[in-house]
Amino acid sequence: MQRIYSITLSLFIFISSLAQSGTSGQTLQRPKLVVGIVIDQMRWDYLYRYYDRYASNGGFKRMLTQGFSCENTLIPYAPTVTAPGHTSIYTGSVPAINGITGNFWWDNAEQRNVYCTEDKNVQTVGSTTNMGLQSPRNLLVTTICDELRLATNFQGKVIGIAIKDRGGILPAGHTANAAYWYDSQEGKWITSTYYMTELPQWVKDLNAKKLVDKYYEMGWATLYPVNTYSQSTADEKSYETKGVGTGFPYDLKKYVGKNYSVISATPYGNSFTIDMAKAAIEGEKLGADAITDMLAVSFSSPDYIGHGYGPNSIEQEDDFYRLDKDLGDFLNYLDSKIGQGQYTVFLSADHGVAHVPGFMKENKIPAGNFNEGAVLEQLNQQLKDKFGQGNLALSFSNYQLVLNNNAIDSNKKLKREEIVAATIDFFSKQSSVARVFDLHQLDETALPAKIKEMMINGYYPPRAGDIQIILKPNYIEAFLTSGTTHGMWNPYDAHIPLLWYGWGIKAGKTNRETYMTDIAPTLAALLHIQMPGGSIGKVISEVMK
């Protein structure tokens, strides 16, 4: 009996030692740093439209040839604008779930337009302006950055950076160590008391360099001879916004010490963002230990340039050649600072953009503008004539008309269904409108399944209007006689790039349909962490080794 007991005890000790040696010698493999790059207003076709002139050692060709490209990545909701785009990339969800239904939205509880990251309970940190009254509190779900913080018991650091406040705040999530954005009034990187009460010294040091003025001193001339820009129309077209000047070369010296907002509408806004990203890596020691950190960087300048000049402009072509060089330099920096193969990068966009209507008309393609202000005035007059009460339509928000429901409910003579019917009849006669319907009847609306799904995914009732308008292709929601915008379901707005590179990523591409919402769950799988709480995306398994 004693012999059996001894054998059993020895066997137990042996098995236990094997188990212990098998687990104690293994660690979970993760990259030191994850860098998320969102290019504000990058159509997918920019990857190949400018391909021949992208530098061989630049960012785009390096990621395309050495990384993985999801060639058919789409946005699965509308409106396709900045705040929902950044949010959906990092949450794996859609506005119907995460609550970020636009840059602004009509809040039915507060009966006013609300800005996506506004927060009156915080204060600006880093400047004397009100540009820091921002936080992620309007976001209803976690981001992949939050999940990384949770998975590492808050040991992994998360930093968000963008010229636009919403581009830095929403990706970084609720638990970020910090998000930083640009104060265009004072020319400084700032944050809010949601994150801290004083800027770190490394941010103060960067602000003290007054880099904006140094970039202004350089001026903006084309990277290559202007007459060789074969992917653009002629410079100085009447349908382009004059912006920082009338044409190349742009004299920026006149803005030194005077106007700090202009840099956002030049390629130097991208360079300035990378300056901040590098400073964050150095100052916060991101990627310096075995615990994975995350840096969420958004490049806002392509959006400012694109709105003013359009996809067929020399300005945007030059912007992407310069951004390509900046991205290449940044990847080289990551190689030297973090180590080759020690970091993971993804690159995508929050939305695309429509061509300038003036350009399309010039080339015999149907296009036009939807003048919201004029249409709203006409509608209210017709409703007043018909129902005897004015101001029954309050505003437009994200291609949705907001009705004055308080006035309708308080007047027993008014019937909502009659006002809705009259409004729909009015819009159906507008030459720029393809569809119009009551959002309360969205499920019953006759629409192609794909478009209907996008509308449903973008609809969060507490933050929505009453009547949805869908414009005809190449028509834009703007009264401007120059420039362009985005926001609809069409491929030029909804087809975006998605590139993967670095640790854990294999080289290749796929042409199968993937979605913006697949990015966060794919990162979760790569890092072996939980996907965000509102995620509905699927893992893109092809990208991983």
User: Among 4-13, 194-203, 265-274, 503-512, where is mean pLDDT lowest?
Assistant: 4-13
Is residue 305 within 8 Å of 325, Cβ to Cβ? no
**Catalytic (active-site) positions:** 82
Confidence of residue 480 (pLDDT cuts 50, 70, 90): low
Q: Which of 468, 440, 541 is nearest to 77 (CA)?
A: 468
Q: Dihedral sign, CA of 148, 152, 153, 154?
A: negative
Instruction: Report the distance separating Cα 460 and Cα 411, nearest Å.
Output: 27
Is residue 32 within 8 Å of 343, Cβ to Cβ? yes
Residue type, 233: T
Give the mean pLDDT of 374-386.
96
Confidence of residue 15 (pLDDT cuts 50, 70, 90): very low
Confidence of residue 477 (pLDDT cuts 50, 70, 90): confident
Structure confidence by residue, pLDDT tens digits, 223-256? 999 999 999 999 989 999 977 887 899 999 999 9
Instruction: Report the distance separating Cα 351 and Cα 484, nearest Å.
Output: 13
Strands 293-299 and 158-162: parallel
Question: Does the N-terminal peptide bond of residue 249 adopt cis geometry, omega within 30 degrees of 0?
Answer: yes
Give the mean pLDDT of 403-430.
95
Give strand ranges (E) for 184-317.
188-192, 293-299
Give the mean pLDDT of 290-299.
98
Candidates 3.40.50.300, 1.20.1530.20, 3.30.1360.150, 3.40.50.720; CATH matching 371-429+433-471: 3.30.1360.150
Give the mean pLDDT of 305-332.
97
| pLDDT at res. 292 | 98
Please name the residue ranges forming H helices in 310-437: 314-334, 357-362, 372-387, 405-410, 416-428
User: Among 22-31, 142-151, 215-224, 269-278, where is mean pLDDT lowest?
Assistant: 22-31
Q: Which of 53, 61, 102, 64 is nearest to 81 (CA)?
A: 102
Domain boundaries, the chain: 41-353+490-543, 371-429+433-471
Q: Position of tokens 């010296």?
A: 253
Three-class SS state of 51:
helix
Confidence of residue 16 (pLDDT cuts 50, 70, 90): very low
CATH 3.40.50.300 at 41-353+490-543, yes or no: no
Structure confidence by residue, pLDDT tens digits, 153-175? 999 999 999 999 999 999 999 99
Q: Which two tokens stand for residue 370?
A: 């939807």
Summary mean pLDDT of the chain? 94
Using the predicted structure, report yes or no on whether residue 3 has a pLDDT greater than 80: no
Cβ-based neighbours of 285, under 8 Å, separated by 6 or more: none
Using the predicted structure, report yes or no on whether residue 83 has a pLDDT greater than 50: yes
Residue 532 CA, distance from chain mean position: 17
Instruction: Report the distance separating Cα 302 and Cα 38, nearest Å.
Output: 11
Residue type, 56: S
Cβ-based neighbours of 211, under 8 Å, separated by 6 or more: 272, 275
Residue 255 CA, distance from chain mean position: 28
Q: Please give the C-alpha separations between residue 380 and each of 61, 85, 108, 404, 526, in angstroms, as whole numbers.
A: 52, 32, 20, 11, 53
Confidence of residue 479 (pLDDT cuts 50, 70, 90): low
Q: Which of 82, 77, 33, 89 is nearest to 497 (CA)?
A: 89
Encode burial over 246-274: b for 16+ CB neighbours within 10 A, e otherwise.
eebebebeebeeebbbbbbbbbbbbbbbb
Is residue 199 within 8 Å of 279, Cβ to Cβ? no
Cβ-based neighbours of 446, under 8 Å, separated by 6 or more: none
Q: Please give the C-alpha separations between residue 309 and each of 137, 333, 357, in angstroms, as whole numbers.
A: 34, 31, 11
User: Among 4-18, 311-325, 331-345, where is mean pLDDT lowest?
Assistant: 4-18
Q: Which two tokens stand for residue 290?
A: 């075995």
| pLDDT at res. 204 | 98
| pLDDT at res. 336 | 98
Is residue 338 within 8 Å of 287, Cβ to Cβ? yes
Confidence of residue 272 (pLDDT cuts 50, 70, 90): very high
Give the mean pLDDT of 118-141.
98
Give the rounded percent of residues in the chain with a pLDDT score beyond 70: 95
Nearest-5° angle of CA 492, CA 493, CA 495?
70
Give the rounded percent of residues in the chain with a pLDDT score beyond 90: 92
Using the predicted structure, report yes or no on whether residue 136 has a pLDDT greater than 60: yes
